[in-house]
Amino acid sequence: MSVLDFLHAKSGDSGKLPSNSFIVLANLDQAALDVLPQAVYLCAGDGRVIRCNERAVELWGRTPRLSDPEERFCGSFRLYRTDGSFLPHDQCPMASALQSGESFQGLEVVVERPDGQRLTILANIAAFTDGDGRINGAINCFQDISERKCAEERQRELVQELNHRVKNTLATVHSMATFTARDANSVADFSSRFEARIVALSRAQALLSECSEHGAGLRELLAQQLQPFGAGESARVHFDGPDVELRPAAAMSLCMVFHELMTNAAKYGPLSVEGGRVSISWDVNRERTLTLDWVESGGPPVTSPERVGFGTQLIRRTIAALGGKADLRFEPSGLSLRTSIALHDEKRGGP
Amino acid sequence: MRLILLEDDAVILMCTQEALTEAGFEVLPATRGSEALALLSKFSNVVAMVIDVNLAEAPDGWEVARLARQILPDVMIIYTTTAGGLSYKTHGVERSVLLEKPYTLERAVSAARAAATPDQ
């Protein structure tokens, strides 16, 4: 840009560069051109490429034959517009500049190299006129902005993904509110249950955002879901099993499952009385299937609920949605859940 | 009237299923595309499918709808999506509707009713 800025400063307000500058440029030492960090080339009035620097050759992926009338307007192999359509050399910005004498700043063009690789470049073109207003030639300073384009594309995708997740979460919260309302027997009851569910959901979300896109550890997830129940109750929850990494969907779902189980245990189950316990144990077999047992003992005698509540449905459905099995039993000695879920192996392309 | 409900979010599935059941539909729930298509092959008289577009596992909802039409050309399709209507124009099958998430249960029920009575 510095070369162009310098020349523009010389040209005053006309925008067109005086031709003596062109002669100076055309005769610049090659070493002076090559030292420029940006790609530069010069075309004569008829479009022949008369000078170019190392950086231009590097970006084009080829060396143009200088002053060859067969090779005009640009030293690149092929050009495309940013919408992907083919751009013939004789219609490229340089060709327009030579025809109209106009200057172009910040034009995005796609260059294809002979090996097929494509780069997005940002071109700045200025035409030179002689005393009679004839166009003698033009200079194009361009830079590779492919990386920036990639980053922009990635950012667009991320925003889209975020938007999708936010809406999905809202849909889940909305459904959860509807369902909690059906089970609740008072506004206060609704409010406390709904709040606890939202908190469980946001804890799961927080855990996932800390654990990157690969998922979360089962042990951390359990510890985190027990946290709101206080040390006294948590101490009566015993868990044992190997380190297991859960994919995000499974982690999210199991968080909700553990929340429903813990809430139930604290309100009506073993954690509502002295001496009650919850034991959680799990293992992973060779087929990478996780089998987890949640066993309650020492609580008040359990009777099968008259109707299937939100918690029970959520547990069954959630695990079914993960492609797993859930065996939830209301035995007099305590509630128990045996669940098995396939842990998708990342290497085999699981989600 | 029988319909298939494909939704991989357990909470949303539960809620929508209950609302549709209360509205008088027989709902066959599925959490993945292959499962929904297997249900379609197995059961007769399925009038409509409610299909979540963004599924965690392939095939996605667009693909499920296309395959469903090969199994049962008359089945009505109701897509549910968080992504707005943009891809619907290019990916949606004919004789289908789009239900944007989050949707109210009333809307889900009225969309299912409309789909089940195509003559109106």
ipTM value: 0.71
Q: What's the rounded mean pLDDT across residues A127-149?
A: 90
A232/B contact by beta carbon, under 8 A: no
Cβ contacts of residue B70 below 8 Å, gap of 6+? none
**% residues pLDDT > 90 (chain A):** 41
Q: Which residue has the higher pLDDT, A130 or A249?
A: A130
The pLDDT value recorded for residue A137 is 92
Average pLDDT over residues A11-17: 56
Measured between CA atoms, the residue of chain A closest to residue B106 is A178
CA distance B64 to chain A (A): 17
pLDDT at A350: 40
Residue type, B65: A
What is the 3 state secondary structure string of B10-50? HHHHHHHHHHHHHCCCEEEEECCHHHHHHHHHHCCCEEEEE
Q: State phi, psi for A268 to the nearest 5 degrees.
A: -125, -15
Please compute the mean of the pLDDT values over residues B72-87 and round it to a whole number: 87
The predicted pLDDT at position A348 comes to 40
Give residue A10's pLDDT. Answer: 57
pLDDT in tens, A254-312: 888 898 898 888 888 898 888 899 999 999 999 889 999 999 999 898 888 777 777 88
Q: Scanning every residue of chain A, which has its alpha carbon at the shortest distance from the alpha carbon of B102? A: A171
- Chain B residues touching residue A208 (CB < 8 angstroms): none
- B110 interfacial to chain A (CB closer than 8 Å): no
Q: Could you tell me the pLDDT band of residue A22, with boundaries at 50, 70 and 90? A: confident
> Is B11 part of the contact surface with chain A (CB cutoff 8 Å)?
yes
pLDDT at B57 > cutoff 60 = yes
Tokens of A296: 């309650």
Domain spans, chain B = 2-102
Interface check for A320 against chain B (CB to CB < 8 A): the answer is: yes
Average pLDDT over residues A190-201: 88
First to last CA, chain A: 46
pLDDT of residue A322: 80
Chain A, window 2-61: residues with a beta carbon less than 8 angstroms from a chain B beta carbon: none
Lowest mean pLDDT of A30-44, A75-89, A160-174, name the range: A160-174
Predicted confidence at residue A349, as pLDDT, reads 39
pLDDT tens digits, one per residue of A29-67? 999 999 999 999 999 999 999 999 999 999 999 999 999
- Residue A162 is predicted with a pLDDT of 82
Mean pLDDT of chain A: 85
Q: How many CA atoms lie within 13 A of B40 on its CB side?
A: 29
Q: Which residues pair with A330 in a beta bridge?
A: A335
Residue of A89, A86, A100, A16 lying closest to A49 (CA atoms): A89
Look at residue A231 in the predicted model and tell me its pLDDT. Answer: 64
A339 or A207, which is more confident?
A339
**Which residue in the set A182, A321, A323 is minimally distant from B13, CB to CB?**
A321
CATH code of B2-102, in short, is: 3.40.50.2300
